[in-house]
Structure 1
């Protein structure tokens, strides 16, 4: 009965949200923030429309990537945990998420300069004021609504990435509650601080994060580590991947979608997008080859699973640097990130934590490597360490520590709160028969 009441409460909430949407005024919040329609560049619109679709494809790609790695009793549940984020986070983004991420900055002032910590939840609530006109500082050549929808895809995939850490043992409705809390209290403030023009990490620390190494991958990686610690080990932590072809398919979809993720973050059809497109694929190829060679010299066989994990690590690591470095430099980014992530994945102390699909070793460590390498290699304004930018490297180092602490501790607290409201972990019996049957009454092998 308790479970039925929880689902009833959830249905009531979505009903209220749906009805509330009928009464929202879509007038411009502040007309002074927007440019005229003639500032729109058709080529940029076409590219970002395509890029947004590519990023959306990454979430079902992730579901195949994760689904193929787990045991056969948990394939559907694991895939659904990724896929359901398309529904949950998309609605949350429209209601309040975009406003918290890119709304009017709420923060503090120092020496007459304002530093934002989070956006005003009322600025763009229910996409109020998110119109077809371009915004003067956030997206000056495309409709603001397109910018908002492009950013929505990043918000969708971030909590989906976390699911691999606690696969095979989390209660579905608890997971839904957690990703809502995570998106509201970890993702949106971090997004605001890094990508909003007035954000603290952007304006004060000068953090360079071209497409989400900090906002997406580090936040997901450290939340994954916290989740593995809170939920504890599975009763049977050893499993055989159920479907390696699913993993290969998922990797291909992720790689393809990542071109929208990285090259689309130029927010224009320009030279920066072209360079990000090139660095993305080369870093991934470099990491994939490095991973399988490094496995082999350490006595492990070359495997399709290893090749896929290596490719994804390369994609993660290049994300913050994609538009700031050259293609030849991206080879090094893929190489060194694959070596470090591989060592972390096989580190005995990390293995003692049951991070089911090694999310922290891939996304957390990959994101850290990307952030550090961006501060070392990046070209352009506010140059990096190799180009005389000692202060940029120092600021990145401090910001790295702050982000790690904020995302890990924040996620840890949210797991505890979620567990108090609805227990996170399924029963021992449910875990034994598998989440596909116990949570969804469906079977991968039927």
Structure 2
């Protein structure tokens, strides 16, 4: 008999396949996963605003643009072959095949993630994870990379790095999944992979102009953007972790409570560490800590209880804070500390998950049975998590480096900008658009030629273009800080 869609008396969706086998989809679960999809989508521009606020104003718009570009590129890649390479049922332990190429047979059939939701719902939800991961890594390109080649990089990186790692972590045929690693929402596929990639990117691109001098001793140009980005991310993370239960159940509720608690504790912890040095209550410090806490709780959110999540937050706020000093010791220029926040935070989360995972928490969904972690005397769990973390770190770093150097020797795909372009700013050179209408300058000292140029460019008479700003700022007494520099 042909496949058929119908409803039962309670309103649940019934799928009957060609062989007459019926599968019941819970409408509440479908609604929760679709709502979580929207929550995770808003996280991607949230990353863009968070990164944009931390940079100098001459590169502010490019990061917001890159967040939208990444969504678009990965949406096509996921349709084209990304979903199939990650979640096909007939793939290997390392990567899937092309069974679902162009989303063939991905609609009403049961999903590989849960039989309670159809494959198309699982597909669009997982797309959001695939989209945010390269955007996190793109932070490594900030202030010194052309925008055009990044379209190619995101497509290739998603195919060669994200898809294999997500496959071995979440596909029921993946080697890490088969050995029993616990990664509820993406500690390794999302955070360790993107953080390690950002490290490889920073090393490949080299240091920014003026590295080690006052030229880069700037403060975030727009702290409001940093806070706004954190709000989007924190808000969306309820769908990121809670939605990973793929059902509106107690496990999803537990994931939401531990997510919020870990972020809160980590934000306060990071801010306290910063206060110890600067004697200032830093909003940027709080936001950085909250993100680190969200990263750390991600793999364990479906496996640990609320008391453990407090330790997740404290450890993330502490370890990630001190890890921001690694770049100074190692001599690389990770301008947005993506490695310290995401790679290190992901490893912290994986280790703590192995220690504090509980079989009783995992069973909140009514069917998941695991041996647990160290709290349940399952000692080998830590070894598997260390192996998974090491594999994700090394694979992402090596493959990202290979991708970057291959692109380096392909005409038109070289990513590093010239020193002149870096000085002017990516917004001016690669976009010809700006985050703001004009950049204010002290009116009393503004040269007449600058005012004329600003007027000719349809800018405010008290504004100026970026070329003039670069010349005048060389002698400006305020040039040490981002709020008054380019």
Q: TM-score range by the shorter chain?
A: 0.7 to 0.9
SS, match of residue 269 in structure 1:
coil
Contact kept in structure 1, 2:86 and 2:167, CA below 8 Å: yes
State the alpha-carbon separation in 2 of the partners of residues 233 and 180 from structure 1: 25
Query: Partners of 1:79 and 1:236 in 2: how far apart?
Result: 24
TM-score scaled by structure 1? 0.88
Question: 2:246, 2:349 → 1: CA distance?
Answer: 21
Is 1:444 the equivalent of 2:429? no
What do the CA deviations read for 1:355-379 (whole angstroms, capped 9, x no partner)? 0100000001100100111111101
Post-superposition offset of 1:132: 2.1
Pairwise CA RMSD of aligned residues? 1.9
User: Which residue of 106, 127, 135 maps to 1:130?
Assistant: 106
Match of 1:323 in 2: 302
User: Which of 163, 168, 189 pairs up with 2:164?
Assistant: 189
Structure of greater Rg: 2
Q: How many residues get paired?
A: 407
- Report the counterpart of residue 373 of structure 1 in structure 2: 352
Q: Show the 5 A alignment for 1:384-399.
A: 384-399=373-388
SS at match of 1:126: helix
Partner of residue 408 from structure 1, selected from 397, 400, 414: 397
Superimposed CA distance per residue, residues 311-340 of structure 1 (whole angstroms, 9 cap, x where no aligned partner): 000000000000100111101100011100
Which of 247, 251, 272 is matched with 2:226 structurally? 247
Q: CA deviation at 1:278?
A: 0.3
- The secondary structure found in structure 1 opposite 2:95 is strand
CA contact (8 A) 2:373 2:381 kept: yes
Instruction: Say whether the 8 Å CA contact 1:36–1:133 is kept in structure 2.
Output: no
SS in 1 for 2:436: coil
Structure 2 counterpart SS, 1:187: helix
Determine the C-alpha separation between the residues in 1 that align with 2:20 and 2:184. 23
The answer as to 2:322 corresponding to 1:343 is: yes
Q: Tell which deviates more after alignment, 275-284 or 289-298.
A: 289-298
2:378 & 2:20 partners in 1: Cα distance?
34
Structure 1 position 48 matched with structure 2 position 23: no
* CA deviation after TM superposition for structure 1 residue 347, in Å: 3.9
User: Which stretch shifts more, 389-398 or 189-198?
Assistant: 389-398
The runs of 5 or more residues in structure 1 that have no matched partner are 1-26, 108-115
Query: How far apart, CA to CA, are the structure 2 residues paired with 1:68 and 1:35?
Result: 53
Compare relative contact order (CA 8 Å, sep 6+) and give the higher one, 1 or 2: 1
Contact 2:33 2:246 in 1 (8 A): yes
User: Which of the two has greater helix per residue?
Assistant: 1
1: distance between equivalents of 2:55 and 2:202? 15
Per the normalisation by structure 2, the TM-score is 0.81
Q: 1:66 aligns with which of 30, 33, 51?
A: 51
Residue-by-residue CA offset, 1:232-288 (whole Å, 9 max, x unaligned): 011134133111001101100100000000000000000100000000000000000
What is the aligned partner in structure 2 of residue 270 from structure 1?
249
**Alpha-carbon distance in 2 for matches of 1:36, 1:187:** 34
Question: Is 2:166 the counterpart of 1:175?
Answer: no
Which of 137, 141, 149 is the matching residue for 1:166? 141
